[in-house]
Amino acid sequence: MTYFPNVDKVLYEGPDSTNMLAFHHYNPEEIINGKTMKEHLRFAVAYWHTMTQDGSDPFGAAVNVRTWLTDDPMETAKNRVTAIFEFLTKIDAPYFCFHDVDIAPEGNSLKEFNRNLDDITDLIKAKMDETGIKLLWNTANMFTNPRFIHGAASSPNAEVFAYAAAQVKKGLELSKKLGGENYVFWGGREGYETLLNTDMKFEQENSARLFHMAIDYAKEIGHQVQFLIEPKPMEPTKHQYDFDAATTMAFLLKYNLDQDFKLNLEANHATLAGHTFEHELNVARNYNALGSIDANQGDVLLGWDTDEFPTDLQAATLAMYEVVENGGIAPGGINFDSKVRRSSFEMDDLFIAHIAGMDTFARGFKAALRLKADGFFDTLKAERYASYQTGIGADILANKMDLKSLEQYALAHDQITNQSSHIEYVKSKLNDYLV
């Protein structure tokens, strides 16, 4: 049984190849600094976009041709397992990610849902053992079902809190069963529509309470996993509590969660928050909390989460520069939280789109390494902050100065000259590294 009869294993054919079903820049076996590209980039495929997304939008019906669909939800779920492992093997991705509801139908009760999850993860586990493909992360979907209308851990309804806790418990058990390396929380409905009826402090305390329960339970079942929170400023809520990296770090520090949690940062969420992706990665890195990446891109002309496959080389380069500075992304990875455009509805488009994303990140990675090897940003910044290396700057850094002594200095040196940044030259020079 094959779901992708037109595609053999995707191979590296080099930049001159015109084969849409080949890699042009990502060569999984190429060794760089003692590791293969595959080991450096740790690509993951997202179950939800690749296996369950149907191409519908608020104005149009489903369009995606997906040959695993049947009238029986459990049958479809089983077909999807076969299909995703064929896909992962052919695209040569070492990891995948899923929400609980992506892999198994919820059925009519929590008991039935858990049973379905057990059955499907038995199949997934067998495929993982057979192929060596691993689970980068899983998560509990606590936003789609109508019960989460007012939130999950932050819901005003305690019964919903209990249900969410049950889903997280099961999610951690599945993570242990499948050897998941990270466990993600994305609080899609942990936020508010209006402050008129919302006790924000109470809701955030409850969110923190659930995270502490998750840490405790992972310890109790002996599962070593990296917990991650994925920030996003809005959508579906008007205001999401984990607005961006900085807001999420303040939350983690306030509730004493920073030792157990890092961040899973998504490019499109960064731009929704009014930041560049590299800004979010840089903030996380400054807190030693850069955990994992959801790779995609938004559209500058659209104000929502379009989750496009990433093809912007400059953005990928600047993101990978942060990863290089971070010393790599493990135990996280680069998860394509990206969906094919509605007009790319054929089965083969799933391959074509992932190849585009993988090629873009491979090129970005290589460009980032060139920037690092040449000391492009290092030199620029060293020169920019050089005034702190000697004289008054060195004294300030050595904490030898106070307001009184600095006033004395300023009175004697009040004719200040600054230097131009020549930033247009810098931007133009950066282009040299991209191709």
Name the site residues for ligand XLS (rule: CB under 6 A). 99, 139, 184, 186, 230, 232, 266, 294, 305, 337
Q: How far apart are CA 435 and CA 433, in angstroms?
A: 6
Residue 139 binds which of ligand XLS, Ca ion, none (CB < 5-8 A, kind-dependent): ligand XLS
Residue 273 binds which of Ca ion, ligand XLS, none (CB < 5-8 A, kind-dependent): none
Minimum distance between the CB of residue 79 and ligand XLS, rounded to whole angstroms?
22
Q: How far apart are CA 336 and CA 45, in angstroms?
A: 6
Q: How far apart are CA 252 and CA 247, in angstroms?
A: 9
Minimum distance between the CB of residue 357 and Ca ion, rounded to whole angstroms?
14
Does the annotation mark 99 as catalytic? yes
Residue 308 binds which of ligand XLS, Ca ion, none (CB < 5-8 A, kind-dependent): none
Nearest to 284 by CA among 332, 214, 224: 332
Minimum distance between the CB of residue 188 and ligand XLS, rounded to whole angstroms?
6
Residues 6+ apart with CB under 8 A from 145: 101, 106
Q: Which is nearer to ligand XLS, 231 or 364 (CB)?
A: 231
Choose, from 24, 40, 99, 354, the residue flagged as catalytic.
99
Using the CB atoms, write b or e for 51-61: b if 16+ within 10 Å.
bbbebeeeeee
Q: Which is nearer to ligand XLS, 203 or 242 (CB)?
A: 242
Q: What is the DSSP secondary structure assignment for residue 309, as one 8-state letter?
A: P
Q: Does 102 bind Ca ion (CB under 5 A)?
A: no
Does the annotation mark 279 as catalytic? no
Q: Which stretch binds Ca ion (CB under 5 A): 142-150, 221-229, 259-267, 355-363?
A: 259-267
Judged by CB under 5 A, which of 102, 266, 278, 280 binds Ca ion? Answer: 266
Residues 6+ apart with CB under 8 A from 222: 176
- Site size toward Ca ion (CB under 5 A) is 6
Minimum distance between the CB of residue 19 and ligand XLS, rounded to whole angstroms?
31
Q: Which of residues 280-319 bind Ca ion (CB under 5 A)?
A: 294, 305, 307
Q: Does 337 bind Ca ion (CB under 5 A)?
A: yes
Choose, from 92, 100, 102, 305, the residue flagged as catalytic.
102
From residue 380, give the alpha-carbon distance in Å to each of 266, 422, 430. Answer: 27, 11, 12
Minimum distance between the CB of residue 209 and ligand XLS, rounded to whole angstroms?
20
Using the CB atoms, write b or e for 151-164: b if 16+ within 10 Å.
bbbbbeeeebbebb
Q: How far apart are CA 371 and CA 51, in angstroms?
A: 37
Residues 6+ apart with CB under 8 A from 35: none
The beta strands (E) that lie in 204-363 are given as: 226-229, 239-240, 261-266, 290-295, 334-336
Q: Which is nearer to ligand XLS, 203 or 294 (CB)?
A: 294
Judged by the rule CB under 5 A, the positions of this chain that interact with Ca ion are: 266, 268, 294, 305, 307, 337
Annotated catalytic sites, by residue? Answer: 99, 102
